Amino acid sequence: MATDTLAPPMALPGVRIKSELMQQRARAARWFLLPMLIALAVVAGWPLLRSIYFSFTDASLNNLYGAEWVGFNNYLRWTTLDSGKTVYRGLLVDPKWWGAVGNTLRFAAYSVTFEAIFGMIVALVLNAEFKGRGIVRAAILIPWAIPTIVSAKMWSWMLNDQFGILNDLGMKLGLLSQKVAWTANADTAMTAVLIVDIWKTTPFMALLILAGLQMIPKDIYEAAEIDGVHPVKQFFRITLPLVRPALMVAIIFRLLDALRIFDLIYVLTPNSDSTKTMSVLARENLFDFDKFAYGSAMSTMLFLIIAVLTILYIWLGKVRFDGGDR
């Protein structure tokens, strides 16, 4: 954080000149920030507020402006039947919604955990000095560069039940006793999604962790070597604590990405209830089922859930985004 502010310029004598200069700079800064702030307000702030507003109305796709305020009806409403029984309806008692929440959380937890472990392994490999390191780094950038839709299609072909190469390989190696309908089968659909996501995003995790690893001074390891510390112990006592800030930042970015996942699941396992996430369900309601207000309620809830999880993570994990003690 040493260079992030314009320290009082030493070359300029006199307090008056300095403060005038600072004022001029502060004024300029305001004008410089204005276009960006307006742009963000128009594309992010206002649409977010409108989405939240729609969730309290009865808006439909073709009747956005005639929408009427209905309070919390989209979230929870109840009617008491003649028999005296009370029936609850709305998002908060919708099993489909909670199923999607569960799918999303499960997906995020598994994918980020595996990506952190594999990312760490790849980063440790890339941090070692060996012949062909450049080739490995170039190779791991390929999954990252491939568009998500393309990787979803590539893998859905590779995971194809009859003609897929993974079933063929699994049978040849004796890992599978029969061909598996990976994406269609409710038991394996989530596994299929996880395989593709982990394949695609481990490189990103690895690169962020590698940046953290490269900041660890080499002489610590030399000292540990002289003291005869076992490499495994070196990893847990030196590497892991020192790379932790970078790892925590990498994990939060991946976590936020995983919690909003849409494209991979939409393409790889369409219409599968065992993988449908909050985003997929919300979009389906907004635009396919013409339940615009109900879909808005879902996207508002999704926003709340992600916000709460993020704040908890940053607070509990004491994450710093400025790169630690740089």
Partner 1 sequence: MVGTFDLWKVTKTTLFYLLVIFIVVESVFPFYYAILTSFKTGTDLFRVSYWPDSFSWGNYAAVLNTGSFPRNLLNSVFISATTVLLALFLAITASFALSRVRFRGRGLLLMTILAVSMFPQIAVLAGLFEVIRSLGIYNTPWALIFSYTIFTLPFTVWVLTTFMRDLPIEIEEAAIVDGASPWVIITRVFMPLMWPALVTTGLLAFIGAWNEFLFALTFTSSNDTRTVPVAIALLSGGSSHEIPWGAIMAASVIVTIPLVVLVLIFQRKIVSGLTAGGVKG
Q: Which of residues 41-70 bind partner 1 (CB under 8 A)?
A: 42-44, 46-51, 54, 64
Among 110, 114, 144, 235, binds partner 1 (CB under 8 A): 144
Out of 4, 82, 219, 325, name the contact with partner 1 by CB under 8 A: 4
Determine which residue in the list 36, 81, 173, 226 makes contact with partner 1, applying CB under 8 A. 36
Query: Given the complex with partner 1, which of 122 and 180 has the nearer CB atom?
Result: 122
294 near partner 1, judged by CB under 8 A: no
User: Of the ranges 92-100, 107-115, 236-244, 262-270, which one interacts with partner 1 (CB under 8 A)?
Assistant: 262-270
- Cα 66–71–73 angle (5° rounding)? 100
Q: What residues does 69 pair with on adjacent strands?
A: 57
How many chain residues are in contact with partner 1, going by CB under 8 A? 106
Is residue 33 part of the contact set for partner 1 (CB under 8 A)? Answer: yes
* Interface positions, 176-215, toward partner 1 (CB under 8 A): 184, 199, 201, 203-204, 207-208, 210-211
The minimum distance between CB 80 and partner 1, in angstroms, equals: 31
Residue closer to partner 1 by CB (options 146, 224) is 146
Is residue 98 left, alpha or beta, with left meaning phi > 0 and alpha meaning psi from -120 to 50? alpha
Residue 229 and residue 42: Cα distance in Å, rounded?
57
Identified binder of partner 1 from the candidate list 87, 109, 117, 145, rule CB under 8 A = 145
Q: Of 130, 128, 95, whose CA–CA distance to 231 is shortest?
A: 128
Task: Give dist(CA 161, CA 176) in Å, integer.
Answer: 12
308, two tokens: 């709460």
Beta carbon nearer to partner 1, 87 or 323: 323
Question: Among candidates 9, 26, 27, 29, which has minimal Cα distance to 18?
Answer: 9
3 state DSSP class of 264: helix
Phi, psi dihedrals of residue 64, rounded to the nearest 5°: -75, -35
Q: Which residue, 115 or 190, has its beta carbon nearer to partner 1?
A: 115
Instruction: Please state, in angstroms and rounded to a whole number, the distance separating the CA atoms of residues 295 and 59.
Output: 10
Among 81, 142, 173, 232, binds partner 1 (CB under 8 A): 142
Nearer to partner 1, 102 or 231 (CB): 231
Give strand ranges (E) for 36-117: 77-80, 86-89
Cβ 87 vs Cβ 98: under 8 Å: no
Q: Site residues for partner 1, window 82-141 (CB under 8 A)? A: 121-122, 125, 128, 130, 132, 135-141
For residue 214, what are its two tokens? Answer: 């490269």
Give min distance, CB of 87 to partner 1, in A.
Answer: 27
Under a CB-based contact definition with an 8 Å cutoff, are residues 114 and 198 in contact?
A: yes
Whichever of 158 and 190 has its CB closer to partner 1, that residue is 158
Residue closer to partner 1 by CB (options 89, 179) is: 179
Of 93-101, 105-113, 221-229, 255-263, the segment contacting partner 1 by CB under 8 A is 255-263
Query: Whole-angstrom Cα distance, residue 177 to residue 199?
Result: 24
